[in-house]
Structure 1
């Protein structure tokens, strides 16, 4: 019998896009699917839309619940998923019709724990026939190195063997939940595959919290996730001295250190671009201290990282303010 794939789709306030999303899953060329729709207390017509689909396709399971957020909705899906393999699709996105057929075939062919594809961030789905792609087989070190270096954390990029993630749940009330989920699960893998075709079509949602004005929630969640990543992977690296394949321990540690600094410098700059969110400089001091603590010498550092390390906070603020003035002047000159 063909393996069963459970597809978990958390749904909230996306009635404009929901049909396209669900249709793309229903119309997969691989048919042995369990499609789990979690209506997470959506205030629009998403609930009735889900119920209508359930009447048309007996592969669909619908869960109606009070709003628990993205992580809570995904966790509800994980509680009921009965498939041999598990995938995630966000309800404002859609997927190519061969996504799960190709990914499952690769996963089985190479005896993988997880297979990952690329994402397409345009409104034009690519014809699968137009490209030829090889699958890269990675151990956990190589997979972590690539994922962290490219910040390719979203869980919807992957098809997971259920045995790998069956005991995992998404952390609640975080905007970086995918970082935690990845760090908790990729180290468990023996073999992971990366396939470069962009089966997943990602829609940039203008109402997403990550596209909203800069705020302290984004700061706290991002830094907490980055520090969690660092602490867990430093422990993982130190406990796996004999990595014989591909990426060495020091290479993975370097990409982790660079990731931490990149996250910190981003927020240090943003706090200075938007000083109104940090009127007492409390958060700037905290981030500056973390930059000092995590800094290491490297010729590849951006100038801003070096400035953040070696300049006092007020001088760094002066640098940011000068850049703001320069950018405004350049922008105004475009229209004169």
Structure 2
């Protein structure tokens, strides 16, 4: 059994795949498995990947390329990789990002030392020539409950690629996201709840490449509505899970904050008929909860109050 399986979805990344693959194959951790999932990419990504693999003969036996018969999207590509992974721990790397050469060795050693179900690290946000170190965990001494609440209140990011988690955790879930937008939220919030021991590795070794040509940066009305509907579907998975697992309602208010955070994406387009229809479908309980939740940001509470008043006045 490999120590770590790294799952890398591949689609439309011919500009970036070489940098990503070289950073993976040059890892100081020897006992590692690489699973590239070809989601029917239309460009030369796989050809470039195969050329890079030839430059690392010692890694060839550790590399698997899973080919989809049709394009399924990022969530299914990740899940295809998880299904065939054999490592003790699973890591996820986006094929337009890259990692420091000792990233997975550091993360794995931290997992073993702490007997952790999950390890989270800091990361570097790369925007062109600009680089910023981002905190992967706001409070290293926080309890699991507080960490989950921090994510729900957007104080701690829920990215999946700067985390290492036990492979057997995946077998405990009945449902995984099918839509692209916020798919990491629908996975990470569930994984955290199932993890008994969460370790923190402060080393910022993952480099996240910010791109403006992806679906998450849509600015058209059609794109915004599509993204909102995808987020809503993935968020529903989180709601269904916590409705079963959280009988005490520990995370009820915090989950309403996540819901309202996504509603805010619609607000710049509130004058559009299609957007007003979506807002009319939002449960009033979310607005009430946001207004009374002192843990939510003041700006969100004010916006929730304005939306509630408009709903009551029949303006939306």
Q: TM class by shorter-chain length?
A: 0.7 to 0.9
Match for residue 279 of structure 2 among 284, 298, 305: 284
Measure the CA separation in 1 of the matches of 2:200 and 2:164.
11
Deviation at 1:84, TM superposition (A): 1.0
Larger Rg: 1
Mapped to 1, the partners of 2:281 and 2:179 lie a distance apart of 22
List aligned pairs for 1:195-210, cutoff 5 A.
195-210=201-216
Equivalence for 2:184:
178
Partner of 2:227: 218
Residue 25 of structure 2: aligned partner: 26
Unpaired segments of 5 or more residues in structure 2? none
Query: How many matched pairs?
Result: 297
Matches within 5 A, 1:109-120: 109-120=113-124
Please tell me whether residue 145 in structure 1 is matched to residue 149 in structure 2: yes
In the alignment, the residues of structure 2 paired with residue 25 and residue 175 of structure 1 have an alpha-carbon distance, to the nearest angstrom, of 26
Note if contact 1:53-1:60 (Cα within 8 Å) is conserved in structure 2.
no
Q: How does 1:1-336 map to 2 (within 5 A)?
A: 4-55=3-54, 56=56, 57-58=59-60, 59-66=62-69, 67-122=71-126, 123=129, 136=140, 139-149=143-153, 150=155, 152-166=157-171, 168=173, 170-213=176-219, 214-238=223-247, 250=250, 252-264=251-263, 266-272=264-270, 275=272, 277-278=274-275, 281-287=276-282, 289=284, 291-292=286-287, 294-298=289-293, 301-302=298-299, 303-312=302-311
Distance 1:269 1:35, change over 3 A: same
CA-based RMSD: 3.1
Distance 1:110 1:179 in 2: 25
- Which runs of 5 or more residues in structure 1 are unaligned? 128-132, 240-248, 318-336
Q: Secondary structure at the match of 1:262?
A: helix
For the structure 1 residues 75 and 262, does the alpha-carbon distance in structure 2 shift closer, same or farther, using more than 3 Å as the test? closer
Distance change (3 Å), C-alpha of 1:138 and 1:74: same
Compared CA separation, residues 51 and 287, structure 1 to 2 (3 A): same
Bigger Cα displacement from structure 2, 102-111 vs 198-207: 198-207
SS of 1:197's equivalent in the other structure is strand
The alignment's TM-score, normalised by the length of structure 1, stands at 0.77
Q: Are 2:179 and 2:231, in contact at CA under 8 Å, matched by a contact in 1? A: no
Change (3 A) 1:297 1:115: same
